[in-house]
C-alpha cells in the first residue's frame, strides 16, 4: 500500500500494528491477583491500602499477593501463573512470620503441580500411600528456593529506620535486580500506621534555626511519600500498604449494637457503608491519603464457616472503598498444611501399615502449618508393638509438645505391625 507522509491515508493507517500494541499493553498488564484484590485491575504505580482492624487477614492478603508475584508463570512445564518478579516487604509491625509465607508458597507449588485436582486430604493420603509417582504431588525444591530468594525483607523499629530503609532502597533494588535478572514488582508495607503514636508525640520545637525541619507526623509522612514517589519513577512497582484501624472503635461499637439487636442475622452482618460515614477513623496525614489510589476495607466475621468440621476456616469480608464498589466480597482463609511433611512422614513410615499411616497423616493435617514442616520426626518402632510414639523431634520442639502429641487420641492406635 502506498504511504505518503502527511496524506490523509497515512493518518488513517495508524501508529502501530496490533502486534506492537499487544506487546505494549502486555508489559503494563494488570496484575492477576487473588481475592479480594481481583475486583479492580491493578497496575504498577498504583498504591493500594488495605484497611482493617487487627486481626482482619491484612497480612494474609499481602503474603498471598507476594507468593503470586514471586512464582514463575511456568516452570518445568507446569503452569503456576505467577508474575515472575521480586517482592520487597517492609515490616513495620515486626510480626511477619516467614514460616507462614513458606507454607503458603509450598501449598501453591504443590497445589498447582497436581493440577486441577482438588486438595482433598483423604485422597492425598491415599495417593501418598500408594507411592504412585505420577499422581504424587511433585514438590519442586529448586522452585521453592528460587521463590524464597525472590522475597526481600527488612524490618523497621521506628520511623527513622523506615526512612533510612526507603532512602537506600533504590541501591538495594538495583543490586537484587542484577543478581536475580528480574525486576521488583511489588513494594509491601505492613503496616503504614505502626509508628503513628510515637511520631505524633515526638513533635518538638526545632532547635537551631528556623529552617530546620522538625521530626513530626507531618514531616515523616511527607518524606515517606516523597521517597516512594521517587522510587516508583525508577522502579515501577505496585505498592500495597496495610493500615490497622488504631482509632477505630466506631465500627466495632456499631457492630456490637447491631449484633445485639439482630443476633440472628449476624452471619451477613452490616449493610453497605455509606460514603458519608467512614467505617473507621482516618488518622494518616492527608499527604498519604491523597497518595493512595485504591483502598480496600477488610473485616473479620465472628462466625466460622459451617461447611468445615474443624475450625480451620475463618470468614472475612472485603469491601472496596476506593473506587467505591457496591458489593461486599466474602473470602475464607484456610489454614494450610504441608504436603512436604507428609512425604517425609511417608518415607519414614514405609514399613508401617497403611491404616496406621493414614491416621498419622490425618493427624498431621490437623496440625497446621509450622510444627510439621518444622520438625523432622524420628520414630522408632518394633515388630508387634502395640502403639507407637514419636520419640524425638528435632530442634524447636518442646517436651510438652511431644507429650501432648503422643497423648492425643488419634495416635493411640492399637494396631499390630507385621
Partner 1 sequence: MAPLKALEQEYPIINSSFQNFCASRGIFSVEDLLLHDLYVLVAFAEQESDAERLKQGITQVLSIIDGQHQPWLNGMELLEDAHRNKHVLSSGCEGIDFLLQGGLRKGQLTELVGASSSGKTQLCLLAASNVAKEHMGSVVYLDTGNSFSPQRITHFICRHSDPAIDQAKHRILQKVMNSILCHSVFDIFTMFDVLNLLELNLRSQMQRGDCQVQLLIIDSVSSLITPILGGSGSQGRALMVSAGFLLKKLAHEHNLAVLVTNHTVGGEGGICKPALGESWKSIPHVRLLLSRDRGGSGVYSVSVLKHPSMAPGKASRFMIDD
Q: Which residues, numbered 194-253, are part of the site for partner 1 (CB under 8 A)?
A: 194-198, 200-202, 206, 208-213, 215, 219-220, 223, 226, 230, 244-249, 252-253
The nearest distance, CB 36 to partner 1, in angstroms, is 17
Instruction: Using DSSP, state whether 376 is helix, strand or coil.
Output: coil
Residue 336 CB coordination number (10 Å) = 19
CA 102/CA 150 separation, integer angstroms: 12
- Which residues of 289-397 form beta strands (DSSP E)? 294-300, 313-322, 324-334, 377-380, 389-393
Compute the least distance from the CB of residue 179 to partner 1, in Å: 10
C-alpha 362/C-alpha 353 separation (Å) is 14
- Binding to partner 1 (CB under 8 A) within 254-283 occurs at 256-257, 260
Contacts for 335-338: CB closer than 8 Å, 24+ residues apart: 335/368, 335/369, 336/103, 336/104, 336/106, 336/107, 336/368, 336/369, 337/103, 337/107, 337/121, 337/364, 337/365, 337/367, 337/368, 337/369, 337/372, 338/103, 338/106, 338/107, 338/369, 338/372, 338/373
154 binds partner 1 (CB under 8 A): yes
Does position 151 interact with partner 1 (CB under 8 A)? The reply is yes
Shortest Å, Cβ 159 to partner 1: 9
As a whole number of angstroms, the distance between CA 187 and CA 241 comes to 8
Q: Which is nearer to partner 1, 6 or 400 (CB)?
A: 400
**Of 135 and 313, CB closest to partner 1:** 313
| Cβ-based nearer residue to partner 1, 99 or 325 | 99
d(CA 385, CA 405): 18
64 binds partner 1 (CB under 8 A): no
Q: Which residue in the set 16, 73, 157, 387 belongs to the binding site for partner 1 (CB under 8 A)?
A: 157
Contact region for partner 1 (CB under 8 A) — 120-128, 131-139, 160-168, 384-392? Answer: 160-168
Minimum distance of partner 1 from residue 210's CB (angstroms): 8
In angstroms, rounded to a whole number, what is the distance separating the alpha carbons of residues 3 and 17?
15
Whose CA is closest to 53, among 328, 299, 255, 320? 299
Identify the residue whose cell numbers are 507468593: 67
Q: Radius of gyration (Cα) for the chain, nearest Å? A: 26
Q: How many residues line the site for partner 1 (CB under 8 A)?
A: 95
Q: Which is nearer to partner 1, 120 or 249 (CB)?
A: 249
Q: Decide: is 34 part of the binding site for partner 1 (CB under 8 A).
A: no
Phi–psi pair at 315, nearest 5 degrees? -105, 135
Cross-strand partners of 378: 392
Among residue numbers 97 through 136, which ones bind partner 1 (CB under 8 A)? 97-103
Is position 147 an interface residue for partner 1 (rule: CB under 8 A)? yes
| Residues between 366 and 405 that touch partner 1 (CB under 8 A) | 367-371, 374, 395-401, 403-404
List binders of partner 1 among 1-30 (CB under 8 A). none
Please list every residue from 163 through 182 that binds partner 1, using CB under 8 A. Answer: 163-165, 167-168, 171-172
Cβ nearer to partner 1, comparing 78 with 250: 250
C-beta closer to partner 1: residue 110 or 156: 156
Amino acid at each position: 500500500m502506498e504511504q505518503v507522509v502527511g496524506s490523509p491515508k497515512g493518518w488513517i493507517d495508524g501508529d502501530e500494528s496490533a502486534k506492537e500494541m499487544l506487546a505494549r499493553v502486555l508489559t503494563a498488564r494488570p496484575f492477576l491477583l487473588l481475592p479480594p484484590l481481583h475486583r479492580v485491575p491493578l497496575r504498577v504505580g498504583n498504591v493500594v491500602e488495605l484497611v482493617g482492624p487487627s486481626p482482619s487477614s491484612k497480612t494474609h492478603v499481602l503474603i498471598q499477593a507476594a507468593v503470586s508475584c514471586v512464582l514463575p508463570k511456568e516452570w518445568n512445564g507446569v503452569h503456576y501463573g505467577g508474575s515472575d518478579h521480586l517482592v520487597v516487604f517492609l515490616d513495620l509491625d515486626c510480626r511477619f512470620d516467614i514460616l507462614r509465607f513458606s507454607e503458603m508458597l509450598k501449598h501453591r507449588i504443590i497445589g498447582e503441580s497436581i493440577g486441577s485436582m482438588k486438595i482433598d486430604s483423604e485422597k492425598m493420603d491415599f495417593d501418598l500411600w500408594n507411592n504412585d509417582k505420577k499422581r504424587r504431588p511433585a514438590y519442586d525444591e529448586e522452585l521453592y528456593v528460587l521463590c524464597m530468594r525472590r522475597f526481600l525483607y527488612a524490618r523497621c523499629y521506628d520511623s527513622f529506620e523506615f526512612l533510612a530503609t526507603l532512602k537506600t532502597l533504590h541501591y538495594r533494588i538495583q543490586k537484587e535486580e542484577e543478581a536475580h535478572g528480574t525486576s521488583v514488582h511489588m513494594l509491601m508495607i505492613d503496616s503504614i500506621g505502626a509508628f503513628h503514636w510515637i511520631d505524633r508525640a515526638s513533635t518538638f520545637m526545632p532547635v537551631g534555626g528556623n529552617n530546620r525541619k522538625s521530626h513530626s507526623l507531618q514531616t515523616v509522612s511527607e518524606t515517606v511519600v516523597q521517597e516512594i514517589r521517587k522510587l516508583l519513577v525508577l522502579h515501577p512497582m505496585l505498592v500495597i500498604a496495610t493500615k490497622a484501624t488504631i482509632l477505630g472503635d466506631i465500627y466495632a461499637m456499631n457492630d456490637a449494637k447491631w449484633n445485639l439487636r439482630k443476633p440472628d442475622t449476624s452471619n451477613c452482618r452490616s449493610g453497605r457503608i455509606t460514603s458519608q460515614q467512614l467505617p473507621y477513623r482516618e488518622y494518616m496525614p492527608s499527604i498519604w491519603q491523597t497518595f493512595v489510589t485504591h483502598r480496600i476495607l477488610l473485616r473479620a466475621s465472628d462466625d466460622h464457616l459451617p461447611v468445615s468440621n474443624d475450625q480451620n476456616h475463618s470468614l472475612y469480608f472485603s469491601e472496596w472503598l476506593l473506587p467505591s464498589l457496591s458489593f461486599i466480597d466474602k473470602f475464607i482463609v484456610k489454614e494450610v498444611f504441608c504436603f512436604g511433611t507428609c512425604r517425609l512422614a511417608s518415607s519414614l513410615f514405609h514399613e508401617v501399615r497403611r491404616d496406621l499411616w493414614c491416621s498419622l497423616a490425618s493427624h498431621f493435617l490437623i496440625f497446621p502449618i509450622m510444627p510439621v514442616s518444622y520438625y523432622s520426626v524420628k520414630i522408632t518402632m518394633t515388630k508387634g508393638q502395640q502403639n507407637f510414639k514419636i520419640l524425638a523431634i528435632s530442634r524447636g520442639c518442646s517436651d510438652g509438645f511431644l507429650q501432648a502429641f503422643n497423648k492425643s487420641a488419634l495416635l493411640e492406635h492399637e494396631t499390630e505391625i507385621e
